[in-house]
Amino acid sequence: MKADQQLYATACQLMAGKKGLLAMDESTATCNKRFKAEGIPETEEYRRKYRELIVTTPGLEEHINGAILFDETIKQRTASGELFIDILINKGIIPGIKVDESTVPMARFPGEKITEGLDGLRERLEAYKSMGARFAKWRAVFSIAATLPTTPCIKTNASTLAIYAALCQEQGLVPIVEPEVLMDGNHTIEQCATVTNHVLHAVFDALYLHQVYLEGIILKPNMVLPGIDSSEQSNTEEIATQTVNCLLKSVPAIVPGIAFLSGGQPSIEATERLNTMHRLFDSRLPWALTFSFSRALQQSALEIWKGNDTNKVAAQQSLLHRAACNHEACKGTYNAEMEK
Ligand code: 13P
């Protein structure tokens, strides 16, 4: 019981003060893909430099409670030899770790994916805990298409998320449970709402079945959005309303917090949507509702940095600015003036 109370306390710390989480857990392949787009060398040293830029951003802790690291990053050090994880801890930012081993095609289900990484997970969690991690993350993905997602894909990923969450809690780590319904496609916002609702119900069913302590998790869902190629795009109010309604229907009130992924939304739009949810619905929300963005926090900083040391301070200012804007959004007090 004491262990459960500790999980609850950590989850509350992650959600405290209407601050958010910073996802900096891109796998090597994903990080390299983003580097390539900016003409940055795809090497371990450049990834190290970039992550050093992020963790040493002055003032980041004013808006960020937790940072999600990747296996390579949790072991890396600054040029002066300090472990990144120690820098975060000293700033009061709680370190977390991505523990899934990415997605693979689901056999006999074209277009669908399952997430791997359960083999040896108990031992890896133990090792990350001893390095100082206090929470973990596992992402499952679901595509929307005419016949997708299928029930077997939803059930398998939901069970896997639940087994992962139970293993995390066994080790005293708060699991971030991330079922992501992807934006790709030409579906309507209503289709996204239906699928997201269905997926979240399956995930909470599985968490219940596996006796996961719901007070000791954080949910990391997508916002409810029309497909990126849909001819019917939605305004901010509609997105905020659909998203909050969907979450109210499917996420138990006892869950301490929900932290959105950004999923490829433009950075400012992600902030505006989060802000509108709070502006319109704050009094109705039973859980903390915040951000756990990667791209929507980092993209502008990466574009400024371009692998060049002389751009480091400007890149850090840009990262800090996005973190500050999203922190305001969690209070419903963000406005377009902040972008000037
Ligand atoms: P994005 O915010 O870029 O979607 O990344 C969040 C994340 O952690 C994906 O797993």
262: Cβ below 6 Å to ligand 1?
Answer: yes
Mutate to test the pocket of ligand 1, among 98, 157, 294 (most ligand atoms within 8 A of CB): 294
Going by alpha carbons, the residue nearest to atom 9 of ligand 1 is 261
What length does the chain have?
Answer: 340
pLDDT digits (tens, 9 = 90+) for 25-72: 999 999 999 999 999 999 999 999 999 999 999 999 999 999 999 999
d(CA 176, ligand 1 centre) in Å: 12
Atom index in ligand 1 nearest the CA of residue 295 equals 3
234: Cβ below 6 Å to ligand 1?
Answer: no
Arithmetic mean of pLDDT over the chain: 98
d(CA 322, ligand 1 centre) in Å: 15
Is 114:75 a contact under the CB 8 Å cutoff? no
Could you give the percent of the chain with pLDDT greater than 70? 100
Q: What is the pLDDT of residue 165?
A: 99
Mutate to test the pocket of ligand 1, among 293, 297, 302, 326 (most ligand atoms within 8 A of CB): 293
Is pLDDT of 157 > 70?
yes
d(CA 293, ligand 1 centre) in Å: 5
Is pTM beyond 0.75? Reply is yes
293: Cβ below 6 Å to ligand 1?
Answer: yes
pLDDT digits (tens, 9 = 90+) for 213-271: 999 999 999 999 999 999 999 999 999 999 999 999 999 999 999 999 999 999 999 99
Task: Summarize the confidence of residues 301-326 as an average pLDDT.
Answer: 98
Is pLDDT of 105 > 70?
yes
Q: What is the pLDDT of residue 239?
A: 98
Atom index in ligand 1 nearest the CA of residue 298 equals 3
317 contact partners, CB below 8 Å, separation of at least 6: none
- Taking 3-state DSSP, the helix, strand and coil percentages for the chain, each rounded to the nearest 5, stand at 50, 15, 30
- 149 preceded by a cis bond (ω within 30 of 0): yes
Task: Summarize the confidence of residues 70-79 as an average pLDDT.
Answer: 98
User: Which segments within 34-146 are labelled E, that is strand?
Assistant: 64-69, 94-98, 103-105, 113-115, 135-142
23: Cβ below 6 Å to ligand 1?
Answer: yes
Q: What is the pLDDT of residue 8?
A: 98
User: CA dist 10 to 58, 135, 153, 302, Å?
Assistant: 24, 8, 31, 30
Going by alpha carbons, the residue nearest to atom 4 of ligand 1 is 263
Going by alpha carbons, the residue nearest to atom 10 of ligand 1 is 139
Q: What is the pLDDT of residue 124?
A: 98
Is pLDDT of 293 > 70?
yes
d(CA 85, ligand 1 centre) in Å: 20
d(CA 177, ligand 1 centre) in Å: 12
Q: Rounded to an integer, what distance in angstroms lies between the CA atom of residue 327 and that of residue 301?
A: 17
Q: Which helix (H) or strand (E) holds 124?
A: helix 121-131
Mutate to test the pocket of ligand 1, among 261, 274, 291, 292 (most ligand atoms within 8 A of CB): 261
d(CA 184, ligand 1 centre) in Å: 14
Domain ranges, ordered by start, for the chain: 2-332
Going by alpha carbons, the residue nearest to atom 8 of ligand 1 is 23
d(CA 42, ligand 1 centre) in Å: 20
Could you give the percent of the chain with pLDDT greater than 90? 100
Tokens for 316, please give them.
């850090």
- Topology of domain 2-332, CATH: TIM Barrel (3.20.20)
Is pLDDT of 73 > 80?
yes
What amino acid positions are annotated as catalytic residues? 178, 220
**Confidence class for position 1, pLDDT limits 50, 70, 90:** low
pLDDT digits (tens, 9 = 90+) for 122-143: 999 999 999 999 999 999 999 9
